[in-house]
Amino acid sequence: MELQGLWNQIADRAKAANPPKDGDYYEGDVLYCGRCRTPKTSVVDLMGRPTRVFCLCRCAREARDRAEAERRERERLDRIDRLRNTAFPDRELMGCGFDRDDGANPRLSRLCRRYVEQFEAMKAQGKGLLLYGPVGTGKTFLAACIVNALTDRGVPCLMTSFARLGNLLSGPGPDRQARIDELARFALLVVDDLAAERDTEFMNELVYTVIDARYRQGLPIIVTTNLTGEELKNPAQVKRQRTYSRLLEMCYPAEVAGKDRRKARLQADYLGLKARLET
């Protein structure tokens, strides 16, 4: 009985020490929020005794949940920023997105969008794309669109070239194979412009090793190249055979045709200048 009296005293003091504010009000011993009109106190069992403690009213709970959701969203966006910075050592490609696709090659645009939509299945099967065709047809652009779209979805990607990988992997540090194996942290590896790298023993070996590492890891690779279908199927250099046949095994081949956009742009620039300077 004496203890109960003590509890009541504590409760009364707590009540006195926390006078209602901002429209809050008591009904009996229960403190209500003036805004949402739900309780700010509740009764809990404290050492066998029902005791009134403060709790969050509905609007305070909602504010807390909102702040928590905002924090999580900020963290998600920060992570995507980091993923994008890692994905594009070549900053220029960061700006390539399906929203900027002019749709000149609808079949290819659709195929690349589908690849993004189907990425989970593609990844599970370790299947990538081999975008091949003449220069300036948009292979690099579309591959970068895929990387950007997957990055938006939180998928770690890396878009690079064999030349860049060559520099990265020949520097000082742990051995080359270990560093090639580290590429496994990227769910998608895109290597731009196969066959544009130097034709050296080191490079040819590196190209094979990187492609083969993806194969062994069961992870997809997307490759763009100016090589023709014929050159890929029947390379003049026999040493390329094993590389390309492995690639064809891992990738859905898609020919990218069309006119050279860069040439078309140069031509337009030239005509613009000509009109300015010669009329």
Ligand X SMILES: Nc1ncnc2c1ncn2[C@@H]1O[C@H](COP(=O)(O)OP(=O)(O)O)[C@@H](O)[C@H]1O
Q: Which position has the token pair 């081949």?
A: 253
Q: Which does 104 bind (CB under 5 to 8 A by kind): Zn ion, ligand X, Mg ion, none?
A: ligand X
- Residues 100 and 33: their CA atoms lie apart, in Å, by 51
| Helix/strand number for the chain, H first, E second | 11, 9
Q: Confirm if 40 and 49 have CB atoms less than 8 A apart.
A: no
Per-position x/- string for 6-45, each x denoting binding to ligand X as judged by CB under 6 A, each - no binding: ----------------------------------------
Position of tokens 């520097």? 171
| CA nearest to 192, candidates 151, 152, 145 | 145
Cβ closer to Zn ion: 35 or 262? Answer: 35
Distances (CA, A) of 39 to 24, 28, 29, 52, 61: 10, 12, 10, 11, 11
The stretch among 78-86, 96-104, 122-130, 133-141 that binds Mg ion (CB under 5 A) is 133-141
The answer to whether residue 33 forms part of the interface with Zn ion (CB under 5 A) is yes
Could you say which of 105, 140, 148, 151 contacts Mg ion (CB under 5 A)?
A: 140
Partner whose binding site includes residue 35, from ligand X, Mg ion, Zn ion, none (CB under 5 to 8 Å by kind): Zn ion
Q: Which of residues 52-111 bind Zn ion (CB under 5 A)?
A: 57, 59
Residue choice 10, 63, 124, 135 for contact with ligand X (CB under 6 A): 135
Name the residue type at position 61: R
* Interface with ligand X, residue 138, by CB under 6 A: yes
Cα angle: 82, vertex 85, 87; to 5 degrees:
105
Instruction: Determine the Cα angle at 66 with ends 64 and 71, to 5°.
Output: 95
Q: Total residues contacting ligand X (rule CB under 6 A)?
A: 14
Nearer to Zn ion, 42 or 241 (CB): 42
Site for ligand X in 99-118 (CB under 6 A): 100-102, 104
User: Site for ligand X (CB under 6 A): which residue of 40, 52, 127, 139?
Assistant: 139
Cα separation values, 86 from 14, 131, 186, 207, Å? 55, 22, 10, 21
Binding site for ligand X (CB under 6 A): 100-102, 104, 135-141, 224, 261-262
Binding site for Zn ion (CB under 5 A): 33, 35-36, 57, 59
